[in-house]
């Protein structure tokens, strides 16, 4: 992870708690999708049904979509157990970093539209 974040440009998505401090320290921009549990749970179930028994195109071959109690429990309890620490770390970041906390798909779409119009993509 340290080798990756030492490069000039990089993007890492996902909830990798063990490397969060490294990523936050090195990032110039942090985008935290802080969606309600029901959205995350719905999207997980939708993904599970779509890719059940096969690998998703966005993950390594052989990593099948699984439905297990441990992950469902983690997902349901994320806002109570993990989110406070993530927000605390984000709020403690250097003020020179760009920080975006996005709380809904609609807000994300507006953010992406703004990026697109500002960069002439």
For 79-106, how does the pLDDT look when each residue is reduced to its tens digit (9 = 90+)? 999 999 999 999 999 889 999 999 999 9
The answer to whether residue 89 is domain-embedded is: yes
CA distances from 70 to 10, 57, 66 (A): 30, 23, 10
Residue reference for tokens 């699984």: 66
Model pLDDT for residues 7-22, shown as the tens digit of each residue: 888 888 877 788 899 8
The answer to whether residue 6 is domain-embedded is: no
Structural domain harbouring 50: 37-111
Rounded Cα gap, residues 88 and 24, in angstroms: 12
Mean pLDDT within 15-33:
88
The answer to whether residue 117 is domain-embedded is: no
Here the tokens at position 69 are 């109690």
Query: Which residue, among 18, 34, 11, 6, has the nearest Cα to 91 in the 3D structure?
Result: 34
Mean pLDDT within 41-65:
84
Here the tokens at position 86 are 């993530």
């Amino acid at each position: 992870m340290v080798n990756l974040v030492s490069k000039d440009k990089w993007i890492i998505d996902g909830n990798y708690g063990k490397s969060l401090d490294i990523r936050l320290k090195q990032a110039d921009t942090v985008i935290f999708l802080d969606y309600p549990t029901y959205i995350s749970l719905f999207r997980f179930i939708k993904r599970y049904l779509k890719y059940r028994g096969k690998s998703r195109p966005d993950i390594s071959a052989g990593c099948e979509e699984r439905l297990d109690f441990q992950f469902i429990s983690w997902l349901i309890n994320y806002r109570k157990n993990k989110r406070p620490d993530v927000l605390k770390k984000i709020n403690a970041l250097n003020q020179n970093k760009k920080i975006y906390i996005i709380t809904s798909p609609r807000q994300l779409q507006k953010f992406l539209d703004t990026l697109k119009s500002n960069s002439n993509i």
